[in-house]
Amino acid sequence: MSDHAKGSDRHLDLVTMGCRWVLDVSALEVSAAREMSARWQRCRDLAASTTVVLDEDPMTITARTSAAAYDLSRELTRRGLTRLTGRATLLHAAALADEHGRSLVLVAPSGGGKSTAARVLGQRLGYVSDESVILLEDHRIAPHPKPPSLVTDPERPFHKEEPSPEEIGLGPTPPAPWLGRLLTLTRDPQLAEPSIETVGVIDQILAILPETSSTWLLPDGLDRLARAATAGGAPARLRYAEIASCHDLVLAHLGRESPDAPTWEHVPPVGSQRLEYVAGALGEDGGEGDDGGEAVADTDVLVRGHWSDAIAAEGEVLVLAGPRPLRLAGPGAILWRAAVAPGRRVDELAAAVVAELGEHPQARSLVQTAASDLLRHGALRRALP
């Protein structure tokens, strides 16, 4: 009979993603249990540190075979995201920190270079996470220094190995990292030199939003993303051909703080304005299913549809209704801003559009068309009598 892990070595106390865990390795042979323990040593160290803990109730996760290391970390991450739903900003991102704990968060879609960036840049920075960043409202980060997931065979991109952070030379994990700067990643093999480019706050949020989880359940989800995108300076993206060429660029960017005054207006729902999101309850276009197919008359009274959060910037409005964003510009943005509770007549809304954009011979029909579109998307609704 194989010799399996025994005693205190069978159940390992971890903290990662701001949650307590017990890693059960009793099904593994002693050597495999030791290897698994080494992979997760940084999370064991966090359990004995003063790192932030959002969920104190330990959850057990079982390592059944040493060959399924990637499946184990994927399952732990999935459960962690479920435990933290509605409690923090959950980013599909990598994070690396300087010696002070000031962290650079790198946001990209799956296959967008996060793990590679963590492995390469982590040779000179501390390792916080290679795939999930748990960001608190005050910009503290709950570290997730899981074994990094690495593609070892380009022809098998979904088969990943997970060595310990020490095996690949990643810098130490700070117990109390905090957000210094956030960059989205764009890899372009044709670029001669990497660059960091400033982008608009709404453009940046729309790039980040698909890489978040349950943002609409936070009462100020979009505002939190805007504050994260502008932490330390204007919103920006990193464009590069090879991440190895970016060491000096990103180190300088992380160390150069120039916080901007907020360039957006937060427009949160109040009371009954907030959308009570139920999966599958919204229409295919993200709206609440108002009767936007009917013609809009000047005497109709319109009011904003229920929404989860919104910000306004540079003449545009970004409205989040459940998981789906709606970007409004021109007459649409003005209509939405003007349609405050308890509602305004369409002719009054048209006057607001003309006041901002100027006279137009087809102003009435353009406003009615825009109002119909917003009704169809659920951004506006007819006020109740």
CB 309 within 8 A of CB 223: yes
Cα 349–chain centre separation = 35
pLDDT digits (tens, 9 = 90+) for 299-316: 999 999 999 999 999 999
Strand partners for 23: 12, 61
Q: How far is it, in rounded angstroms, from Cα 242 to Cα 136?
A: 31
> How far is the first Cα of the chain from the last one, in angstroms, to the nearest whole number?
77
pLDDT per position as a tens digit, 252-278 = 999 987 776 778 999 999 999 999 877
* Cβ–Cβ < 8 Å for 22, 13: yes
Tens-digit pLDDT profile for residues 179-228: 999 999 999 999 999 999 999 999 999 999 999 999 999 999 999 999 99
Sorted by sequence, the CB contacts under 8 Å of residue 55 that are 6+ apart come out as 18, 19, 20, 83, 84
Q: What would the pLDDT profile of 36-93 be if each residue is shown by its tens digit?
A: 999 999 999 999 999 999 999 999 999 987 667 778 999 999 999 999 999 999 999 9
The secondary structure of 299-349 as a DSSP string is: T-EEEEPPBSEEEEETTEEEEEETTEEEEE-HHHHHHHHH--TT-EEHHHH
- Report residue 317 as tokens: 């409005």
* Residue that is written with structure tokens 């937060």 in the block: 266
Give the other-Cβ count within 10 Å of 148's Cβ: 27
Torsion of CA 187, 193, 194, 199, to 10 degrees: -90
In the chain, where the domains are located = 7-263, 271-382
Stated pTM of the model: 0.91
CB 335 within 8 A of CB 374: yes
Write the DSSP assignment of 14-31 as a string of letters: EEETTEEEEEE-TTSBHH
Q: Which has the higher per-residue pLDDT, 385 or 161?
A: 161
User: Per residue in 14-33, pLDDT tens?
Assistant: 999 999 999 999 999 999 99
Separation between Cα atoms, residue 27 and residue 138, nearest integer Å: 40
User: Which amino acid would we find at residue 100?
Assistant: H
% of the chain with per-residue pLDDT over 70: 90
For the ranges 25-29, 73-77, 174-178, 284-288, the one whose mean pLDDT is highest: 174-178
- In the predicted structure, residue 2 carries a pLDDT above the cut 50: no
- Does residue 285 carry a pLDDT above 70? no
